[in-house]
Structure 1
Amino acid sequence: MDTGKLTKVKLVAYKKPDFTDKVGDYDVLINPEKYSDKSELKYSTNSSPVGSSAETVKFRGAGSNIFNMDFFFDSTGVITDEPVDRQIDKLKALIYSYNGDIHEPNYIKIIWGTQSLFEGRLKSWDVQIIMMDLDGTPIRAEVKAAFVRSVSVKKKALEERRNSSDLTHIRMVKAGDTLPAMCFKIYGESRYFIQVAEYNGLDHIRSISPGDQLIFPPLI
């Protein structure tokens, strides 16, 4: 719900990979106009016959998840007269600099209001001076930052456990669903549709309709 109150993007730094043991936080001076969240999938390529125009690719797993956000700094007096380099140093100390307690940079959570936009670590940092005073002093700058997602071992294990084919899954049929396709999503293979049909007492694999609940038992 829109409360009409301006909230600033906040970056919170932590020592531990499960985003505990807070180090500090930073409220941006100017909220960004946009941000991007890019995810990739990894595939391996099989050799194709000579003369073939296409290659066979096999899914290997999830790739990197990169979050990009630009930060703006201004010391013209419109918002603040604190020197730009000092503003940048405050943010840099939190998200870029080496933390001697953990012997590496901090873990960062990016929050905007009630939304947790991203959890990860800084990957790259690019400072661009876009306005200078007559003596060359920076008075307006932009920092382009890229973050890579970081998931704690405990959280990753929990997510993998939830998606494991060793567990019983209950799914509601949606429009366009087929039993083989649903089996593929859960087991990674569609060939178990006969066993699932028998387990659910279906006369035919097409005997499913939107709204039906199906049980997908653990693989034996």
Structure 2
Amino acid sequence: MPITSTASDTTKLVHAAIEVHEPGEKPGKAGALLETIEFQLNPKELTVAKSAKWESKNQKKAESAPPASYQGPDPQKMTVEMYFDETRSHDGSVVARVEALLATTAPTAKSTSTKKPSAPWVVFKWGLFTGFTGYVKSVSAKYTLFSPDGTPLRAVCTVALEELASEQGKQNPTSGGLQPRNAHTLSEGDTLPAIAYREYGNAALWRSLAEVNGVDDPLRLRPGDTILIPAPDELADANGRELARKEVARALN
């Protein structure tokens, strides 16, 4: 479907939209559609970013920089502005639209009821941009016009999206680890016990989560890092291996 056309008689306006879904059971495949948040005005620009992880280990006696090893790609990121205007509506307000966007950062009711709370997955759609499935990392709303009684009539919302993996892969290219069910980008204050409790309802599984992700020191987690979340049965297997390792260590001692 064309986004633009030089012939005015064939031009078809395509409205951008963000579809809000329940979290999916499989990577890259969103769950049931909850709602669609349409753009009143199509964005003037999109910012798309993609980066890769490289690691280099410093050597004290080295005369030059050490070689870097490729660790894999980071999730693709997209930033877009949404403009809302209700100046032509009688008793209109943009608050409902803004609150719908803000709600995409909170867990869905269904996921909360299963003791595995997760914010919804979203799909950004606009012309050729139809394959971006991810989650809303942040929303910043700026109200720019008010009615005499203080009702917000216009708003500009900056929405930051981050993609979710479309296929399963090993958690670490060198470890032969488990298949991830999901991924979580660490925020300030995140801990492995809190993540384990949120995902599996058992904070004690944080050690297995650390083993799966190759985390040697859980106190050195950094905001922005990604923790891979295996399926519960796979993590149970990892937990069993950890318990067995401890039993062997106790027997040897």
TM-score for both structures, normalised by structure 2 = 0.54
Distance in structure 1 (CA, Å) of the matches to 2:85 and 2:151? 12
TM-score for both structures, normalised by structure 1 = 0.61
More strand by percentage: 1
Q: Give per-residue Cα distances to partners, 1:167-214, cap 9 Å, x unaligned.
A: xxxxxxxxxxxxxxxxxxxxxxxxxxxxxxxxxxxxxxxxxxxxxxxx
Distance 1:114 1:49, change over 3 A: closer
Distance in structure 2 (CA, Å) of the matches to 1:28 and 1:74? 10
CA-CA distance at 1:52 after TM superposition: 4.3
Where does residue 89 of structure 1 map in the other structure?
99
Where does residue 156 of structure 1 map in the other structure?
168
Aligned partner (choices 12, 15, 31) of residue 8 of structure 1: 15
CA-CA distance at 1:151 after TM superposition: 2.0
Distance in structure 1 (CA, Å) of the matches to 2:86 and 2:96? 10
CA-CA distance at 1:49 after TM superposition: 4.0
Structure 2, unpaired ranges of 5+: 112-116, 170-253
Distance 1:117 1:34, change over 3 A: farther
Distance in structure 2 (CA, Å) of the matches to 1:9 and 1:80? 25
CA-CA distance at 1:42 after TM superposition: 0.6
Counterparts in 2 of 1:179-190, with a 5 A limit?
Answer: none
Distance in structure 1 (CA, Å) of the matches to 2:58 and 2:84? 51
Aligned partner (choices 107, 113, 117) of residue 98 of structure 1: 107
One-letter code aligned to 2:14: T
CA-CA distance at 1:29 after TM superposition: 1.0
Distance 1:87 1:14, change over 3 A: closer
Distance in structure 2 (CA, Å) of the matches to 1:40 and 1:138? 38
CA contact (8 A) 2:123 2:134 kept: yes
1:69 aligns with 2:83: no
Where does residue 181 of structure 1 map in the other structure?
none
CA-CA distance at 1:27 after TM superposition: 1.4
CA contact (8 A) 1:66 1:146 kept: yes
Counterpart of 1:31 in 2: which secondary structure?
A: coil
Distance 1:8 1:142, change over 3 A: same
More helix by percentage: 2
Distance 1:99 1:49, change over 3 A: same
Where does residue 130 of structure 2 map in the other structure?
116
Aligned partner (choices 147, 150, 153) of residue 139 of structure 1: 153
Percent sequence identity is 20
Counterpart of 2:95 in 1: which secondary structure?
A: helix
Distance 1:80 1:62, change over 3 A: farther
Counterpart of 1:47 in 2: which secondary structure?
A: coil
Structure 1, unpaired ranges of 5+: 158-220
- Which is greater in Rg? 1
Aligned length: 154
